[in-house]
Homo-oligomer: A and B are copies of this chain.
C-alpha cells in the first residue's frame, strides 16, 4: 500500500455529528503521516438516510481502492445495523460504551437522539447565551459597566488572542469572559487601566512571543510602527513587567490552541463550568 494513499473517514451520527467528529479527529491526529478525507454526515435518522450512507461508503471504497473508516455515534441500533452491511472499519462509540455504562449504573439508556448539546429553554442554555452576550459587550474594553459580573477578565496587548479565547470560554463553558487591552499609555503610567484595577482578583493575562505578534499584526497593518518587531518586543516586555508587579497570573499563548488556553484559564482561575 503506497504511503501517500488517501483514506476516507466518515463521521456519521443521528445528531449533529460533532461528538463523532471530535472523537474521530482525536484518533486521526495520532496518525499524522497518513492522509484522510473526512466527511461528516449528520442527522441520519431514517432507513432511507442509512441506505444513502451505505452508498457513500461504497463509493468511497471504489474511489480510494480501500474500505473507509466510519466513526459513529448512533443511538438507534437499527441504523447501525444497516450501515454495517457495507464494508468499512466501524468505530461506534455508543456501542462500545453504552453497555458497560448500563451495567454499571444498573439502568437502561433512554436511546434518545440529539441530547448531547445544551437544550434550548434550559437554564444551561440561557446561561450560555447570556455569557456570549456579556463577552461581546465587554470585548476589547468596550464597556466598563458590569465588569463586576465577569467571571474572568483577560488582559494583554493588542492581538495576543484575548478575543477568540473569551468567545470560546463563553460558548463552550458558559463563562462570562470580559477582555481588556493593555496599551502603551498603561505602560507609561506603569499602572493597570483604572476600570480593571479594582477587579484584580478576576484578571488573567495572556502574553505571546514577539515574532508571532509581529506576524499577526503585520497581516492587519503591514509596515506600521504598531506591527514592527521592535514595538512588539517593547509592548510584550512592558505588559509582562506590569502584570508581574501587579501580581496578575498569565500564560503564553504562542504555541497553544484556543482550547488549551481556555482550559488552562478555567483551571487557574478555578472557574466552575457553567454549562453541561
B112 in contact with A30 (CB, 8 Å): yes
Q: How far is the CB of A173 from chain B (nearest CB, A)?
A: 10
Contact of A224 with B by CB under 8 A = no
Taken together as a complex, chains A and B put the C-alpha atoms of A22 and B17 apart, in Å, by 11
Specify which of A15, A96, A97, A111 lies most central, judged by the most chain B CB atoms within 10 Å of its CB: A97
Take A1-B106, A107-B33, A164-B171 as given contacts and tell me if A26 and B259 are in contact as well, using a CB distance cutoff of 8 Å: no
Chain B residues in 8 Å Cβ range of A107: 31, 33-34
Contact of A163 with B by CB under 8 A = yes
Take A18-B263, A43-B264 as given contacts and tell me if A110 and B32 are in contact as well, using a CB distance cutoff of 8 Å: yes
A257 in contact with B105 (CB, 8 Å): no
Take A18-B263, A121-B255, A167-B171 as given contacts and tell me if A31 and B97 are in contact as well, using a CB distance cutoff of 8 Å: no
Taken together as a complex, chains A and B put the C-alpha atoms of A34 and B109 apart, in Å, by 10
B258 in contact with A7 (CB, 8 Å): no
Chain B residues in 8 Å Cβ range of A31: 101, 105, 107, 109-110
Per-residue contact bits, chain A 84-100, to B (CB 8 Å; 1 contact, 0 not): 00000101011011101
Contact of A16 with B by CB under 8 A = yes
A30 in contact with B163 (CB, 8 Å): no
Chain B residues in 8 Å Cβ range of A249: none
B29 in contact with A115 (CB, 8 Å): yes
Contact of A57 with B by CB under 8 A = no
Size bracket of the A interface: 35 or more
Taken together as a complex, chains A and B put the C-alpha atoms of A19 and B23 apart, in Å, by 6
A259 in contact with B16 (CB, 8 Å): yes
B120 in contact with A27 (CB, 8 Å): no
Per assembly, the copies of the chain total 2
B257 in contact with A118 (CB, 8 Å): yes
Residue of B nearest to A273 (CB): B40
Contact of A193 with B by CB under 8 A = no
Q: Which of B22, B132, B255 contacts A163 (CB 8 A)?
A: B132
Residue of B nearest to A259 (CB): B117
Contact of A104 with B by CB under 8 A = yes
Contact of A79 with B by CB under 8 A = no
Chain B residues in 8 Å Cβ range of A276: 25, 38
Q: How far is the CB of A207 from chain B (nearest CB, A)?
A: 14
Chain B residues in 8 Å Cβ range of A15: 260
Contact of A75 with B by CB under 8 A = yes
Contact of A228 with B by CB under 8 A = no
Residue of B nearest to A91 (CB): B97
Contact of A242 with B by CB under 8 A = no
Taken together as a complex, chains A and B put the C-alpha atoms of A256 and B43 apart, in Å, by 13
Chain B residues in 8 Å Cβ range of A34: 105, 107
